[in-house]
Amino acid sequence: MAVSDHVNLEQFMEGVERRNPGEIEFHQAVYEVAVNVFDFIADKEVYHEYQILRRIAEPDRVVSFRVCWEDDKGDTRVQRGWRVQNNNSIGPYKGGLRFHSRVNQSILKFLAFEQTFKNSLTGLPMGGGKGGSNFNPKGKSDHEVMRFCQSFMNELYRHVGEDVDVPAGDIGVGAREIGYLFGQYKRITNRFVGVLTGKGMEYGGSPIRTEATGYGTVYFMESMLNRVNDSVDGKTCLVSGSGNVAQHAVEKINHLGGRAVTLSDSGGFIYDPEGIDTDKLAFVKDLKNLRRGRLSEYAKKFGVEHHEGRPWGITADLAFPCATQNEISTAEAKTLIANGVKGVSEGANMPTEQQGIHAFTNAKVLFAPSKAANAGGVAVSGLEMSQNSARITWKEEDLQKLLLDIMTGIHDRCVEHGRSPNDDYVNYVKGANIAAFIKVADAMLAYGVV
Ligand code: NDP
Ligand code: 2IT
């Protein structure tokens, strides 16, 4: 069959939308990849013939289940849980669990699809998966969270395993939740194996897994800037979110001599023009990780502004969206550009709307898409899996070096596939999509039609 006889991008997307009705985040994630992949495979018959992208955009399986638990008043509560196993062509399914009131199947399918490409970029043998629940941990006691996690694992344990599918944290799932989940897995199966990553150091965790996503996102920015003889040093930075990724992005910005001036949560954002230094960051970690409080407390404590909404109207050199999907609208992207932003590195997954991404790349802003920029977290998860298999723990300094090497390697692969033929601008979105696609696609070709 001639290449011209195959479906084009529009027909492909019509099919995705028809087969996945109403799943708008999933459509968005597939489209973002398909735009670049269709160009790349235009003259590559084998990828068309074996329907590679069509197959990656059809999850291997979506498991959905009921999760019942008892709250502190003794009332029965019912939630929905999922595990989306998108693709295991290059390794066991791997990806986080998200607990948030607005989690749905579309969001988890988009995340599992993205994870397949992200994990490919790390160079480690990991396929893509994601899971979670519409359980809202906000305002719940530790005991309620524990009972929920135990009930969630009572079903999830059938679908995961150290060589099958290895979940980790994401929004609403941190050290506390991973502990409860791992404890229940061990109790049900009587097996102590690396079935989850992000574990505590006492029971098989890896040094720097906690820091890895935020650090990696800033390393990626540093690589983009170094390539044009610039650096994070001296730059004013906007950071959104105030959880795991945002906190460690701020920490690394500080290490590299930058100044982070904002953080946000679902109640608004703080603007601290003096910069969120080490002491203030320690306050944020205590506030968010232990007291589970609101950022408005930061504003009161340090006498700075607190506003509703998101921080993208503040003038700065660099932006690090580290909260959630679609948190930079097209209009906000244009505001950032008008205010002279030089670089954007996405710590969150798919935080920029599709047209916002085009606005950044058209304006030749250095733009690092999430699947490249935040891959440091899952990369160190992959290294946690290796350590668990070998039943050893590597030294922190070795892991620090590996994370930096992996992020530099991802940057260089994006440059290889994303460099413009006309000038020196690198389209990191295109580079990441193509580099990630090739590895997964070639593994699938090796297996034939399965
Ligand atoms: P956390 O739960 O630790 O923190 C999430 C932060 O984002 C909180 O400050 C939360 O505010 C805010 N937030 C979440 N949803 C919304 C929303 N709808 N509107 C406004 N603010 C919101 O999660 P992480 O830091 O782990 O994850 C942040 C992002 O990074 C996510 O997109 C995640 O997928 C991505 N990511 C995480 C990795 C990891 O290793 N943890 C790896 C790669 C990507 P509030 O406290 O008010 O809810
Ligand atoms: O989006 C992500 O890459 C994560 N939430 C981390 C996944 C992992 O398996 O460490």
Percent pLDDT > 90 in the chain is 97
Angle at which helices 375-390 and 396-418 pack, to 10 degrees? 130
Residue 280 is among the residues annotated as catalytic for this protein: no
Evaluate: CB of 96 within 6 angstroms of ligand 2: yes
> 303 and 253 in one domain?
yes
Q: Ligand 2 center to residue 379 CA distance, Å?
A: 8
Closest listed ligand to the CA of 384: 2
Pairing mode, strands 318-320 and 343-345: parallel
- Here the tokens at position 171 are 């929004």
Closest listed ligand to the CA of 95: 2
Q: Ligand 2 center to residue 114 CA distance, Å?
A: 10
> 308 and 240 in one domain?
yes
Q: Does 89 fall in a domain?
A: yes
Evaluate: CB of 377 within 6 angstroms of ligand 2: yes
CATH code, domain with 306:
3.40.50.720
> 167 and 139 in one domain?
yes
Angle at which helices 330-338 and 354-362 pack, to 10 degrees? 20
> 311 and 214 in one domain?
yes
Q: Does 340 fall in a domain?
A: yes
Residue identifier of the C-alpha nearest atom 3 of ligand 2: 378
Task: Read off the pLDDT of residues 197-255 as tens digits, 9 standing for 90 and up.
Answer: 999 999 999 999 999 999 999 999 999 999 999 999 999 999 999 999 999 999 999 99
CATH code, domain with 189:
3.40.50.10860
Q: Does 234 fall in a domain?
A: yes
Residue identifier of the C-alpha nearest atom 28 of ligand 1: 323
Q: What residues contact 12, with CB distance under 8 A and at least 6 apart?
A: 34, 38, 53, 54
How confident is the model at residue 350, as a pLDDT? 98
Q: Ligand 2 center to residue 119 CA distance, Å?
A: 9
Full residue range of the structural domain in which residue 100 is found: 61-193
What is the C-alpha radius of gyration for the chain, rounded to an integer number of angstroms? 21
- Strand partners for 387: none
How confident is the model at residue 6, as a pLDDT? 84
What is the identity of the amino acid at 426?
V
Residue identifier of the C-alpha nearest atom 10 of ligand 2: 378
Res 177 pLDDT > 80: yes
Measured distance CA(105)–CA(349) in Å, rounded = 16
Q: 124: helix, coil or strand?
A: coil
Pocket test residue of 84, 244, 295, 371 for ligand 1, highest count of atoms within 8 A of CB:
244
Angle at which helices 278-285 and 244-255 pack, to 10 degrees? 170
> 274 and 152 in one domain?
no
> 106 and 227 in one domain?
no
Catalytic residue among 94, 109, 118, 130: 130
How confident is the model at residue 1, as a pLDDT? 53
How confident is the model at residue 2, as a pLDDT? 57
> 175 and 75 in one domain?
yes
- What DSSP assignment string belongs to 285-330? HIIIIIS---THHHHHHHT-EEESS-GGGS--SEEE--S-TT-B-H
Pocket test residue of 28, 177, 240, 324 for ligand 1, highest count of atoms within 8 A of CB:
324
Residue identifier of the C-alpha nearest atom 15 of ligand 1: 324
Q: Ligand 1 center to residue 174 CA distance, Å?
A: 10
> 177 and 69 in one domain?
yes
Q: Ligand 2 center to residue 111 CA distance, Å?
A: 9
How confident is the model at residue 8, as a pLDDT? 94
**Nearest CA to 258 among 327, 336, 183, 345?**
345
pLDDT band, very low/low/confident/very high, at 313 (cuts 50, 70, 90): very high
pLDDT band, very low/low/confident/very high, at 426 (cuts 50, 70, 90): very high
Task: Read off the pLDDT of residues 77-99 as tens digits, 9 standing for 90 and up.
Answer: 999 999 999 999 999 999 999 99
- 267: exposed, middle or buried (C-beta count within 10 Å: 0-12, 13-18, 19+)? exposed
How confident is the model at residue 204, as a pLDDT? 98
Select from 348, 373, 398 the last residue of a domain. 373
- Here the tokens at position 273 are 């023009």
Res 421 pLDDT > 90: no
Evaluate: CB of 195 within 6 angstroms of ligand 2: no
SS3 content of the chain, % helix, strand, coil (to 5): 50, 15, 35
> 360 and 225 in one domain?
yes
> 241 and 183 in one domain?
no
Select from 340, 373, 406 the last residue of a domain. 373
Of ligand 2's listed atoms, the one at least distance from the Cα of 209 is 10
> 217 and 157 in one domain?
no
User: What's the start-to-end Cα distance of the chain, in Å?
Assistant: 21
Ligand 1 binding site (Cβ under 6 Å of any ligand atom): 169-172, 174, 213, 241-246, 265-267, 322-324, 347-349, 374, 377
